């Protein structure tokens, strides 16, 4: 979309605000721009190209996608966010929120050049009242988990990376190992404070602006800038982390392993306890591809873990390694984040990480589990081309459904998240090594994983997970994959709340 019609409209609008077209890199005199004047009049102190902070402030998590915003601003409160949105609207500049900045497609920077990024870094207030948390949208998952733990041993279900922001994560789903018990992070949200495209600061909840609440919990990036989330919290649970590793599998054993895993997870008679967070990890390993069944079992003892997984292990065979760890809640957060110390959850103390990568995903539904043909093709790809590439890849299978999972039992239209029929997601991720693999080849290699499944199930229209957003999709393809039955409603709500597409990115409605 970079050179498409939308970019042309955005750039034309900005150029007309500047009088004659001036490349952003040459904006020296801020007085030339009504748009920048507007931001400055609102005390938003925009960072623009040429400023010493611009390169750092506009650096994306995914270094492959270095979009150039016309300006970045750091409002201190919802009024400042509102002023920024109005400056964008009045001057024809598209606006995007940035919470943790970890969008795989760098959509907080616009997903194309020339947008206004509203960075929420200063909206980091956190409070608890009874079981209810109020969370400024600049907070990241590590800081939230730490705050809840240190203030009454409270917890929520959310993803694993401490640096991921609540804005994108909860706005578009937010899956964690405790989600089968407590739902997606979006499902744990009770109400939102949100600035809509007209600059109004609104409350959205099941009883106030319920259509906006429905849309912003699942398709949050399109419906305004959320400034604060009010969420339910839960008593933090002790748990057992488990990992059964099979370093000695070949492609056929691994495919059979996946078949056993999905049958075990999808058993309608012996329902899998919702306290189980269950995954499969596949990675190329040092000496060959490694297949590992892992996860966290909340609130139980080791004997219960052993008895629960005994029927599955009978099918999987003898693991090359078994790991079991009894842990309190915050240790489970550290374990899943792959960090050692509690201080590493405080993201104000840790520098942001970056990667140069491409990722995409598949949801496999409970009604149409992966066929043997499809899993054979997938694992032949992992153990074949996957053993002979310099792309640093991994694949993670996350169990969403099975048993009475809180993710799936709420029904298909609970909020805009459009995959309540999912049994599990698969994320395919590849770091593309600088200089040795082209972007096109790296992307094609990762897409080969998804194509392997699709070629084994040609009549299935797979859904995908919007938080693993695929940077290569057109809007039409994205809607088909992320919101197949919600696109029409989301488009009409977009027309209602943002008719001029002020808050906009290439896969928007």
Residues in contact with ligand FAD by CB under 6 A are: 61, 96-104, 107-108, 120, 137, 159-161, 164-165, 167-169, 171-176, 220-221, 225-226, 467, 505
Q: Nearest approach, Cβ of 160 to ligand FAD (angstroms)?
A: 4
Q: How far is CA 491 from the centre of its chain?
A: 21
Q: Nearest approach, Cβ of 86 to ligand FAD (angstroms)?
A: 16
Q: What span, in angstroms and rounded, lies between the C-alpha atoms of 106 and 505?
A: 10
The residue whose two tokens read 């925009």 is: 46
CB nearer to ligand FAD: give 225 or 240: 225
Q: Nearest approach, Cβ of 465 to ligand FAD (angstroms)?
A: 7
Q: What span, in angstroms and rounded, lies between the C-alpha atoms of 192 and 387?
A: 46
CB nearer to ligand FAD: give 103 or 181: 103
Q: Nearest approach, Cβ of 352 to ligand FAD (angstroms)?
A: 10
Q: What span, in angstroms and rounded, lies between the C-alpha atoms of 50 and 29?
A: 11
Q: Are 259 and 372 in contact (CB under 8 A)?
A: yes
CB nearer to ligand FAD: give 161 or 364: 161
Show the tokens assigned to 292.
């590992």
CB nearer to ligand FAD: give 86 or 96: 96
In terms of Cβ atoms closer than 10 Å to its own Cβ (0-12, 13-18, 19+), residue 171 is buried
Q: Nearest approach, Cβ of 161 to ligand FAD (angstroms)?
A: 3
Dihedral of the CA atoms 179, 349, 125, 415 (nearest 10)?
-30
Measured over the CA atoms of residue 273, residue 327, residue 296 and residue 417, the dihedral's sign is positive
Q: What span, in angstroms and rounded, lies between the C-alpha atoms of 209 and 492?
A: 15
CB nearer to ligand FAD: give 379 or 509: 509
CB nearer to ligand FAD: give 445 or 505: 505
CB nearer to ligand FAD: give 107 or 462: 107
CB nearer to ligand FAD: give 173 or 430: 173
Q: Nearest approach, Cβ of 450 to ligand FAD (angstroms)?
A: 17
Q: Nearest approach, Cβ of 172 to ligand FAD (angstroms)?
A: 5
Q: Nearest approach, Cβ of 252 to ligand FAD (angstroms)?
A: 29
Q: Nearest approach, Cβ of 447 to ligand FAD (angstroms)?
A: 19
Starting at the earlier edge strand, list the strands of the sheet with 276-283. 321-327, 239-246, 290-298, 276-283, 392-399, 422-431, 357-365
Q: Are 498 and 196 in contact (CB under 8 A)?
A: yes
Phi-psi region for residue 466, left (φ > 0), alpha (ψ -120 to 50) or beta?
Answer: alpha
Show the tokens assigned to 99.
């919470």
The residue whose two tokens read 């994983």 is: 449
CB nearer to ligand FAD: give 220 or 379: 220
Q: What span, in angstroms and rounded, lies between the C-alpha atoms of 437 and 415?
A: 40
Starting at the earlier edge strand, list the strands of the sheet with 95-98. 71-73, 116-119, 95-98
Dihedral of the CA atoms 420, 423, 509, 108 (nearest 10)?
110
């Amino acid at each position: 979309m970079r050179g498409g019609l939308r970019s042309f409209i955005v750039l034309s609008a900005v150029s007309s605000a500047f009088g004659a077209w001036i490349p952003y890199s040459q904006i020296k005199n801020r007085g030339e721009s009504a748009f920048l004047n507007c931001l400055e009049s609102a005390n938003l102190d925009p960072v623009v190209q040429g400023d010493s902070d611009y390169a750092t402030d506009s650096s994306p998590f995914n270094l492959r996608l270095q979009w150039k915003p016309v300006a970045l601003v750091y409002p201190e409160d919802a009024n400042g966010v509102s002023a920024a949105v109005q400056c964008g609207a009045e001057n024809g500049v598209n606006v995007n929120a940035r919470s943790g900045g970890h969008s795989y497609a760098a959509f907080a920077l616009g997903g194309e050049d020339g947008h206004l990024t509203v960075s929420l870094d200063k909206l980091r207030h956190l409070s608890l009242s009874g079981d209810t948390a109020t969370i400024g949208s600049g907070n990241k998952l590590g800081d939230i988990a730490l705050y809840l733990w240190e203030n009454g041993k409270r917890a929520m279900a959310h993803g694993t990376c401490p640096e991921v922001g609540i804005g994108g994560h909860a706005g578009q789903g937010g899956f964690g190992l405790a989600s089968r018990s407590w739902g997606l992070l979006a499902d744990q949200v009770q109400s939102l404070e949100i600035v809509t495209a007209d600059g109004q600061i609104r409350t959205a909840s099941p009883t106030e602006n319920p259509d906006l609440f429905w849309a912003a919990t699942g398709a949050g990036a399109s419906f305004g800038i959320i400034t604060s989330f009010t969420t339910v919290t839960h008593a933090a649970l002790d748990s057992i982390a488990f990992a059964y590793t099979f370093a000695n599998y070949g492609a056929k054993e691994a495919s059979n392993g996946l078949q056993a895993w999905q049958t075990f997870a999808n058993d309608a008679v012996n329902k899998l306890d919702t306290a189980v967070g269950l995954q499969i990890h596949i990675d190329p390993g040092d000496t060959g591809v490694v297949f590992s069944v892992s996860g966290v079992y909340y609130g139980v003892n080791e004997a219960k873990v052993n008895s629960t997984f005994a029927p599955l292990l009978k099918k999987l065979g003898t693991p090359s390694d078994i790991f079991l760890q009894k842990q309190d809640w915050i240790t489970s957060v550290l374990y899943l984040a792959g960090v050692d110390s509690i201080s590493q959850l405080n993201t104000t103390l840790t520098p942001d990480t970056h990667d140069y990568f491409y990722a995409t995903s598949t949801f496999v539904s409970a009604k149409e589990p992966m066929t043997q043909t499809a899993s054979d093709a997938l694992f032949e790809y992992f153990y074949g081309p996957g053993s002979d590439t310099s792309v640093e890849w991994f694949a993670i299978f996350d169990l969403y459904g099975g048993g009475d999972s809180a993710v799936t039992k709420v029904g298909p239209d609970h909020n805009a998240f459009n995959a309540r029929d999912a049994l599990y997601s698969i994320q395919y991720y590849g770091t593309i090594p600088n200089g040795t693999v082209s972007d096109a080849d790296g992307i094609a290699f990762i897409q080969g994983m998804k194509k392997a499944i699709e070629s084994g199930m040609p009549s299935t229209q797979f859904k995908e997970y919007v938080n693993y957003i695929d940077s290569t999709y057109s809007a039409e393809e994205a809607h088909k994959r992320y919101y197949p039955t919600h696109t029409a409603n989301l488009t009409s709500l977009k027309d209602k709340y943002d008719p001029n597409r002020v808050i906009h990115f290439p896969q928007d409605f």
